[in-house]
Amino acid sequence: MIIFDQVSKSYPSGETVLDNVSFHIKQGEFVILTGQSGAGKTTIGKLLIKEIVPSSGNITVESLDLSKLSDKDISKLRRKVGVIFQDYKVIPDKTVIENISLALEIINVPKKEIQDRASHLLELVGIPDKGDLFPSQLSGGELQRAAIARAIVSEPTILFADEPTGNLDDKTSQDIFNLLKQVNKIGTTVIMSTHNQSFLGDIRHIHLEKGKIKSDSATSHPEKSTKKKKNA
């Protein structure tokens, strides 16, 4: 499903945000990324949708080699990978349902279907009565639910959630986490970056430090496999 193979990302300033990172994520997995700010979590999300490109290494998403992806095919990639951004990226002067409807228009959903699908998405994320409100009228948790609805509007096979509970209280954070688990249960691969250690449990957990993978709870960690081959 997703393969990062010795991926590094550096900027002209000399800053290296990812350093030789390798991991595999299977279809339908739920994976949590942890690490301090600047560890490389957000960079992984940007690389997944080809907002930026790696300095070295290869990334494969659903058999697509991103290094060979043409500019015209990037929109297809971004329909496969939904992103929940830290700053929500909702349009402030449009209502919640208008935000979702616009996203549906962009992916060419017929106009007669848009209202029904937007309403269904609001129901799915637990805010069916908030569609006519503007983002400024929502609580933090409601706004995050609206952002999730918009991120899954194209029925992506992969969802990257970048610190989706960072500014929320404990109860609301747990509610959002539970919602992402529901999205995962319908078959969507979910990658969530967070500082909240309470979410880890038995979910696969990749910990980043200074752009490197410090640990991966998966038993089939690529770096471990590489070491075994070298020692063979």
- In the numeric block, the tokens 């990334």 are attached to 59
Instruction: Tell me what pLDDT residue 87 has.
Output: 80
In the chain, the amino acid numbered 129 is: D
How sure is the predictor about 54, in pLDDT bands with cuts at 50, 70 and 90?
very high
Per-residue confidence (pLDDT) for residue 37, from 0 to 100: 84
pLDDT-derived band at 232, boundaries 50, 70, 90: very low
Question: What tokens appear for 147 in the block?
Answer: 């952002």
Predicted confidence (pLDDT) at residue 227 exceeds the cutoff of 80: no
The CB-side HSE value for 42 (13 A sphere, CA atoms) comes to: 9
**Given this model, what pLDDT does residue 75 score?**
86
Mean of per-residue pLDDT scores for the chain: 90
Model confidence at 7: pLDDT above 90: yes
Q: Give the mean pLDDT of 103-132.
A: 93
Q: Does 231 have pLDDT greater than 50? A: no
The pLDDT value recorded for residue 202 is 85
What domains are there in the chain, each with its CATH number?
2-90+157-231 (3.40.50.300)
Residue 67 has pLDDT above 90, yes or no: yes
DSSP 91-125: -TTS-HHHHHHHHHHHTT--HHHHHHHHHHHHHHT
The first and second tokens of residue 178, run together, are 């539970």
pLDDT of residue 145: 94
Q: What is the pLDDT of residues 122-149, one digit of tens each?
A: 999 999 999 999 999 999 999 999 999 9
Query: For residues 111, 112, 113 and 116, what is the CA-based torsion angle, rounded to 10 degrees?
Result: 120
Name the pLDDT band for 31 (thresholds 50, 70, 90): very high
Which is more confidently placed, 162 or 89?
162
Q: How confident is the model at residue 219 (pLDDT cuts 50, 70, 90)?
A: low
Alpha-carbon distance of 146 to 96, in angstroms, equals 7
What pTM was estimated for this model as a whole? Answer: 0.88
Work out the percent of the chain whose per-residue pLDDT is above 70: 94
